[in-house]
Amino acid sequence: MRKKETLATGWYFMRQDVGAALTLAHGSAAVLPHTWNAEDGTDGGNDYYRGSCWYVKKFEVPVLVGSEELWAEFEGIAMTAEVFCNGKSLATHAGGYSTFRVNLTPVLQHGENLLAVRVDNSENDTVYPQKADFTFYGGIYRPVHFITVPKAHFALGYHGSTALKVTPDVDLHCRRARITVEAFAENAEGETVTFSGAGQTFCATVEAGLAKSVFVIENVHLWDGVEDPYLYTLTASLSSGDSISAQFGCRTIGFDAEKGFILNGRPYRLCGAARHQDRQRIGSALTDAEHDEDMALLREMGANTVRLAHYQHAQHFYDLCDTYGMIVWAEIPYITKHMENGRANTISQMTELIVQNYNHPSIVCWGLSNEITASGGVTPNMVENHKELNDLCHRLDPTRPTTMAHAFMLDMDDPFVRVTDIRSYNLYYGWYLGELEQNDQFFDDFHRKYPREVIGLSEYGADANPAYQNGHPEKGDWSEPYQALYHEHMLAMWSKRPYIWAMHCWNMFDFAADGRNEGGKPGQNQKGLVTFDRRTKKDAFYIYKAYLSKEPFVHLCGRRYIDRPEDVTEVKVYSNQSSVTLLVDGRELETRKGDKIFIFQVPLTGEHTIEARSGELADSITVRKVDQANPAYRVEGGEVVNWFDRPDEVLREGYYSILDTMEEIRKSPAGAGLLARMMAKVAAGYGDVARSVTLPEAVRRQMDQMPLEKLLKQAGKTVTPAMVKQLNAALNQIPKA
């Protein structure tokens, strides 16, 4: 009989590499899951510890009957691990996000035993990820278990999988599913496996380590997304007493260049968010409770899809996606920078991702990479790596397509765009570059030029610190209102283009990026709809709820914009109701009919209580009239109007200024040199990844056509008003070419 024991306590953690002299005296007590970067990986400075550490635990061997075996199961160790038992090295594993197991039986001794794991998240050129806009936490940050099994057992060494593979083939017309089941076994050649599921029992013999059979479910109950995520359970048993089970769902999926994603024969519009697994104060060392909370927030927003970026996530979260009908994009951390020595690691990580997650009906595609052309462009070795990965995915799983998330800098005509079955783009027009309308134009151009290709939107977003407020929000101010305006536009854009197979907002939650220093929170990417600690839902969260959720609600925006200097202030309400009434200090101001967004103009004379109502639904905020804008509402350097008091301070006839375009300024060698130094400083403020980004000629042309002032506006803290004045003064000394 299989037994499983969780090993959470009794561990000792050592930051130094003590090697052969390892004893418990070197360490401090630790409880798993654990990461050593929960603090220094989230505070900015790009200086978090990346190196080797040890986890050590004494244990008494569980009672083993006859030829039973004891295995250690590790659900996730970042980034590489070497496992020792009683001083003997038993296994190494490269890849920080997948499950692996180690057979301890051959080295066990009577009495006390010592399990030790050397963990390393050092920089190298073989294991992904190495360059990306998030923190690479080190540690044993997912659970560890002892598994006791009979000598003849279902495979524990098969790429960390459950050893049970279920492939439904659904005939929608006949409402019938033909189910192929495969069970992988070790030390069980010739033995009989008994399967049971969907009210049926059948058997198969283990041959060459595999028992395979087929059965049929009549009147099949479909797994049908968030509306009806029905799951079946299949159990496999050996005569030795070992038994395993897996849940599966019966559904069909498709991807159409005009209709987008197809679920069970019908168009099924996908809109949701991407998710990073970490959170404030605990880093990546999440328990099931944190995973449950993240899923609850996605469901509250009304999302029906989640991109689990940029690596394999915890099995518990994939299970939640199955249970609640969330459509999943799953991917490996092949990201930003292609490493010629990393191909074997992409193959092993993709193999583990697919083999360990094959049975999840929620997963509909395998992501090969993310923005891999951002640092270095397209190279022959990189293309070969992707083609090999693509072929691997099709061999391991012919039922799901492959995809990639392309950087917006990659030209849509590049053949690399077409390596995978379907594709998506990461677009940041309206934040990093250009204007919001360019997102619309991109999709219109792509669909017009390639009408038979499936295209999606895998990332888009704008950073927002909820402390920053602005009555006149603008790109680059890191304000909560601008983020909300940004997402209003993107949702409207998506709603008019049914061919977009999925739209995944970047990101559901703020997350750690220790190389960042911007927007008032060093060490964080603040594009989340919810803050890093999950305590604050930004206003943009509710525009998604208005579009996606069936739960009736009204939400008053601007509850953190209390001090308002304007005489008449704009009050915005998000709701999925058809009309909203606004009350000011208990008196009805106006009732408006509308669709998702309701805007009111409210005169300010002092402190006011503002309430929005729709039937029994209500929400309220408090605002007050002030003489001067609250300086705490602005990111340092974000107050553009303070750069210069008068236009004549900017302009000098016959000379350059910040009002000129980049293209015009670059015509002068002196101007070009000045811009190069300025751009390097701005890029440094966006972290380590931004410094390595290679912009193609098409994107450079777009930037060159923008006035320099527009680029400076969104540089925020990295470019202060004093620096802008100094830059403009320097430009005023350069005669126009």
DSSP H or E run through 266: strand 266-267
Distance (Å, rounded) from C-alpha 109 to C-alpha 140?
Answer: 25
**Which of 68, 69, 186, 371 is flagged as catalytic?**
371
Token pair, residue 40, equals 């220094």
* Residues 6+ away with beta carbon under 8 Å from 337: 130, 131, 372, 374, 375, 376, 692
What are the CA-CA distances from residue 277 to residues 54, 311, 508 (Å)?
23, 10, 10
**b/e per residue 387-408 (b: at least 16 CB within 10 A):** eebbebbeebbeebbbbbbbbb
C-beta separation of 352 from 101 below 8 A: no
What does the block give as tokens for 658? 């910040």
Instruction: For residue 429, give the DSSP letter.
Output: B
Measured in Å, how far apart are the chain's first and last C-alpha atoms? 83
Identify the residue whose tokens are 């595999």: 210
Instruction: Report the distance separating Cα 394 and Cα 400, nearest Å.
Output: 8
Q: Could you tell me which of 563, 530, 736 has the C-alpha nearest to residue 653?
A: 736
- CA pair distance 536, 727, nearest whole angstrom: 38
Length of the chain: 737
Q: Do β-strands 176-186 and 153-154 pair in parallel, antiparallel, or remain unpaired?
A: antiparallel
Cα separation values, 734 from 218, 631, 653, 655, 681, Å: 80, 35, 11, 6, 21
Residue 280 contacts residue 42 (beta carbons within 8 Å): yes
Across the strands, what pairs with 275? Answer: 308
Q: Are 112 and 7 in contact (CB under 8 A)?
A: no
> What is the distance between the alpha carbons of residues 125 and 643, in angstroms, rounded to a whole number?
44
Q: Which helix (H) or strand (E) holds 666?
A: helix 662-666
Catalytic residue at 371? yes
Q: 50 by DSSP, 3-state: which?
A: coil
CA 648 to chain CA centroid, nearest Å: 47
Query: How many C-beta neighbours within 10 Å does residue 472 have?
Result: 11
- By annotation, the residues acting in catalysis are 371
